[in-house]
A and B are shown apart, each in its own frame.
Chain A
Amino acid sequence: MNRGILALIVINKAGGLIYNRTFGDGLNQLNTNDYLVLAGTFHGVHAITARLSPVKAVQAQQNQQHQHTSSSTGGGVVPSRPEPPSGLEVLESENFRLQCFNTMTGTKFLLFTDTLQTNANADVAMRKVYDLYSDYVMKNPFYQLEMPIRCETFDRKLNSYIRELNSSR
């Protein structure tokens, strides 16, 4: 029985797959091509969902209306730019749960966990993965931006962190 975190995929800002790794035993493996297709497809879906999300747009409208009323009363309020819609964040299915984290620069981290994991759990793990990425990938002089991640130390740290996390659950 697989527990905890099952897989990690990292997608660069152009929709290319730059890292993928599975952490459970007995998971069906995709071939490399399928992973690339999966990454590209997800990138597209994410872009569409970012356009769909209605909640933030309503907020923005309300903000504008608010500013109109305040400017008519003479208050010099600085117009605040609404937060951009974040798009797909969590996808739940019968067998797994997919958490997506989009960094400020457009790199996407996809964390596949089992269905028992809560939002908070996955957030903590995601944060740590992002920490490891910014330490052991971005500070590595031999890593070229937007290219596939081949960093031994990143692999090693990620493996030991996920193993520890999965065995503690």
Chain B
Amino acid sequence: MSNIQPSKGGTKDQPGLRYPTNGKTIYHRPLNRAKTAELSGASFAYLFSEMVGYASKKIESIQDLEKRLNVQGHPIGLKLLDLLLYREPARTQTRPLNIITLLHFIKINVWQHLFGQAADGLEKSSDPSKPDEYMIIDNEPLVNRYISVPKDMSQLNCAAYVAGIIEGVCDGSAFPARVTAHSVGRQEEGEMWPGRTVFLVKFAPEVMEREGYLGKG
């Protein structure tokens, strides 16, 4: 181990993580600085296209592919929760404590941060036998803007990636949930929102149980 040098100065020949010459990495920047910065939509579209291509290698079913996209999004959600709460004003920096505030946080803050606008709808499942299901609706998900799913994969919705992010936010705030993306837009000519997507959030039983106790108290 004695041959490992501290990485001061002589970073030129070393492989691995590269440091800028002034020694300031992305971690030295204040977290609030990039708050309003925007990224190129085209670069994201190409990157996401490659991510989908990567995830569709050696898959056995469409569910496999959606699962992989979901897994790619999950860590982003976990980290995003921390970042967005940190950026809130000091007295509202607590994490969401019940389902409604959590879903509102996702619909407004998370969506605004990721896509520049709030989600288009938030609904509770109308089926009384499924009180644990909520729906977040996006009329035209940004990730799907340039994607045409081939006919033989018609069940696929690449917004499974966004579902993964939502799942990460829910898990991070101690509301374990399964989130899936479903296309509900009709493909007819002249349809306003052919890419309309519903994110179905299904909370774990223990969350519902806790929510029940809290409601009574």
Q: Are B147 and A150 in contact (CB under 8 A)?
A: no
Q: Are B194 and A141 in contact (CB under 8 A)?
A: no
Q: Nearest chain B CB to A154's CB is how many angstroms away?
A: 7
Which of A18-26, A64-72, A132-140 lies at the interface with chain B?
A: A132-140
CA distance A143 to B49 in the complex (A): 10
Q: Are A153 and B46 in contact (CB under 8 A)?
A: no
Considering only CB atoms, which chain B residue lies closest to A155 in the complex? B148
Q: Nearest chain B CB to A167's CB is how many angstroms away?
A: 14
> Residues 123-155 of chain B: 1 if any A CB is under 8 Å from the residue's CB, otherwise 0?
000000000000000000000001111100100
Q: Are B150 and A153 in contact (CB under 8 A)?
A: no
Most chain A CB within a 10 A radius of its CB, from B147, B150, B187: B147
Most chain B CB within a 10 A radius of its CB, from A142, A143, A151: A142
Q: Nearest chain B CB to A66's CB is how many angstroms away?
A: 40
**A150 / chain B contacts, CB cutoff of 8 Å:** 148, 150
Which of chain B's residues 159-216 have a Cβ closer than 8 Å to chain A?
187, 194
Q: How large is the interface on B (under 10, 10 to 19, 20 to 34, 35 or more residues)?
A: 10 to 19
**A142 / chain B contacts, CB cutoff of 8 Å:** 52, 147-150, 153
CA distance A136 to B49 in the complex (A): 11
Considering only CB atoms, which chain A residue lies closest to B53 in the complex? A141
Q: B56 an interface residue at 8 Å Cβ cutoff?
A: yes
Considering only CB atoms, which chain A residue lies closest to B153 in the complex? A142
Q: B64 an interface residue at 8 Å Cβ cutoff?
A: no
**A136 / chain B contacts, CB cutoff of 8 Å:** 146, 148
Q: Are B150 and A139 in contact (CB under 8 A)?
A: no
Q: Nearest chain A CB to B15's CB is how many angstroms away?
A: 31
Q: Nearest chain A CB to B68's CB is how many angstroms away?
A: 13
Q: B84 an interface residue at 8 Å Cβ cutoff?
A: no
Q: B42 an interface residue at 8 Å Cβ cutoff?
A: yes
- Residue numbers of A with Cβ under 8 A of B are 135-136, 139-143, 150-154, 156
Q: Nearest chain A CB to B62's CB is how many angstroms away?
A: 12
Q: B122 an interface residue at 8 Å Cβ cutoff?
A: no
Q: B50 an interface residue at 8 Å Cβ cutoff?
A: yes
Task: Please provide the 8 A-B residue pairs with the shortest distance between their CB atoms, ordered closest to farther.
Answer: A139-B146, A141-B52, A151-B148, A141-B49, A139-B45, A152-B148, A153-B148, A141-B53
Most chain A CB within a 10 A radius of its CB, from B42, B45, B56, B146: B146
Considering only CB atoms, which chain A residue lies closest to B156 in the complex? A142
CA distance A165 to B179 in the complex (A): 42
Considering only CB atoms, which chain A residue lies closest to B45 in the complex? A139
**A141 / chain B contacts, CB cutoff of 8 Å:** 48-50, 52-53, 56, 147, 158
**A139 / chain B contacts, CB cutoff of 8 Å:** 42, 45-46, 49, 146-147
Q: Nearest chain A CB to B116's CB is how many angstroms away?
A: 18
Which of chain B's residues 40-89 have a Cβ closer than 8 Å to chain A?
42, 45-46, 48-50, 52-53, 56
CA distance A142 to B148 in the complex (A): 7
Considering only CB atoms, which chain A residue lies closest to B149 in the complex? A142
CA distance A141 to B45 in the complex (A): 9
